[in-house]
C-alpha cells in the first residue's frame, strides 16, 4: 500500500488538482475539428506554468520507458488507449480523443484524464464514454476506509461488463504523491474483499480504460498503447485521497 500523506502534503496535491481542473476545462473548449494535438499540448503547458506549477509528464521517464516523455499531456485518438504523444495531427469530425495530464506542485502530483467526442460522432462513442465515466465513478465510490483494493477493481469491472464492453486489463491505476507513479497498483478488475485494506490518507489515481472490442492492446514504437483489433477506447481518470468518510476527488472538474 502507498504511504499515508500528511495534511500539508494533501493540500499541495489539492492545489495541483485545482489547476488541473481549470486547465482541462480550457482544453475542453479547444477540442474541435481542425485543432492539432500539438496546439492542445502548448495550451496545457503554458497554462500550468502560468499557474506556477509544472506539467508532471514533461521530461518524465518511468522505469518501463526508453526515453523521457517529450510533452505535457498525452493525446490518444480513437484506437489509441493511452500515452499518445501530441503531434501535428489535426482533430477530425467524429474522432474520440482522450487527454491525460498531470500537474506537479512543489514536488507533489495529481494525474487525471478525460475523453472527448470531437464534433459530430457516432452514438457508440457517446456510449463508450458514458460507460467509462460510470466505471470511474463506481471505482471511486468503492474507495473508502475498510474496503480493499479488490473492491475498486470489482466495482469498475462490473459496470463495464454490465454494458457489454471490455476492460483493458493490462493497464492499471496507481498510487500517487511525491512520485507520479507509486504503489499500490490499482487494477480495473478483481474480486470484492481482496487485496490490501484501504486507509485514510492514501492517494490513488483510479483510471478505467475501456474498449468496444476485446480490450487487448499492442505497444507502438513511440510508447503509445493501441487496441489490438483497432476498436475504439476511452479513458477517464481522477486522483483521489481516501478520507475517513470516503474518497475526495482532488481533480474534480465540470467534465
Query: Over the stretch 35-53, which tens digit does the pLDDT of each residue have?
Result: 999 999 999 999 999 999 9
Is 100 annotated to bind a ligand? Reply is: yes
Residue 83 is labelled as binding a ligand: yes
**Residue 174 marked as a ligand binder:** yes
Any binding-site annotation on 235? Answer: no
pLDDT digits (tens, 9 = 90+) for 68-105: 999 999 999 999 999 999 999 999 999 999 999 999 99
pLDDT above 80 for 213: yes
pTM: 0.97
Q: Is residue 254 a part of any domain in this protein?
A: no
- Give residue 149's pLDDT: 98
Residue 1's pLDDT band (boundaries 50, 70, 90)?
low
CATH code (residue 163)? 3.90.230.10
Confidence of residue 27 (pLDDT cuts 50, 70, 90): very high
Report which of 143, 140, 135, 138 is spatially closest to residue 196, judged by C-alpha positions: 143
The response to whether 49 counts as a known ligand-binding position is no
- 2 pLDDT more than 80: no
Residue 58 above 80 pLDDT? yes
Q: Is residue 1 part of a domain?
A: no
Number of domains forming the structure of the chain = 1
In a domain, 114, yes or no: yes
Instruction: Please tell me the predicted confidence (pLDDT) of residue 255.
Output: 77
Q: How far apart are CA 24 and CA 99, in angstroms?
A: 8
- What's the domain range around 127? 7-249
Domain annotation covers residue 170? yes
Please determine, for residue 66, whether its predicted confidence score (pLDDT) is greater than 90. no
Q: What CA–CA distance (Å, rounded) separates 237 from 209?
A: 9
Question: Is residue 207 marked as binding?
Answer: yes
| 154 marked among binding-site residues | no
What number of CA atoms fall less than 13 Å from residue 183's CA on the CB side? 7
Distance of CA 135 to the CA centre of its chain: 12
Amino acid at each position: 500500500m502507498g504511504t499515508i500523506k500528511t495534511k500539508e502534503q494533501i493540500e499541495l496535491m489539492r492545489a495541483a488538482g485545482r489547476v488541473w481542473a481549470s486547465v482541462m476545462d480550457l482544453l475542453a473548449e479547444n477540442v474541435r475539428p481542425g485543432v492539432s494535438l500539438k496546439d492542445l499540448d502548448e495550451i496545457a503547458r503554458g497554462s500550468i506554468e502560468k499557474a506556477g506549477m509544472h506539467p508532471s509528464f514533461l521530461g518524465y521517464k518511468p522505469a518501463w520507458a526508453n526515453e523521457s516523455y517529450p510533452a505535457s499531456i498525452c493525446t490518444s485518438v480513437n484506437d489509441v488507449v493511452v500515452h499518445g504523444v501530441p503531434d501535428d495531427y489535426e482533430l477530425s469530425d467524429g474522432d474520440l480523443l482522450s487527454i491525460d495530464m498531470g500537474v506537479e506542485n512543489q514536488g507533489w502530483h495529481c494525474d487525471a484524464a478525460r475523453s472527448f467526442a470531437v464534433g459530430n460522432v457516432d452514438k457508440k462513442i457517446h456510449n463508450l464514454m458514458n460507460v467509462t465515466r460510470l466505471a470511474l465513478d463506481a471505482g471511486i465510490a468503492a474507495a473508502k476506509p475498510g474496503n480493499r483494493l479488490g473492491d475498486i477493481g470489482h466495482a469498475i469491472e462490473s459496470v463495464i461488463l454490465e454494458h457489454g464492453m471490455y476492460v483493458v486489463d493490462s493497464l492499471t491505476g496507481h498510487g500517487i504523491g511525491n512520485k507520479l507513479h507509486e504503489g499500490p497498483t490499482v487494477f480495473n478488475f478483481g474480486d470484492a474483499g481482496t487485496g490490501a485494506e484501504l486507509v485514510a490518507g492514501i492517494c490513488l489515481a483510479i483510471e478505467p480504460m475501456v474498449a468496444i472490442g476485446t480490450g487487448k492492446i499492442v505497444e507502438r514504437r513511440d510508447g503509445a498503447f493501441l487496441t489490438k483489433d483497432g476498436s475504439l477506447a476511452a479513458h477517464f481518470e481522477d486522483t483521489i485521497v481516501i478520507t475517513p468518510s470516503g474518497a475526495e476527488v482532488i481533480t474534480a472538474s465540470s467534465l
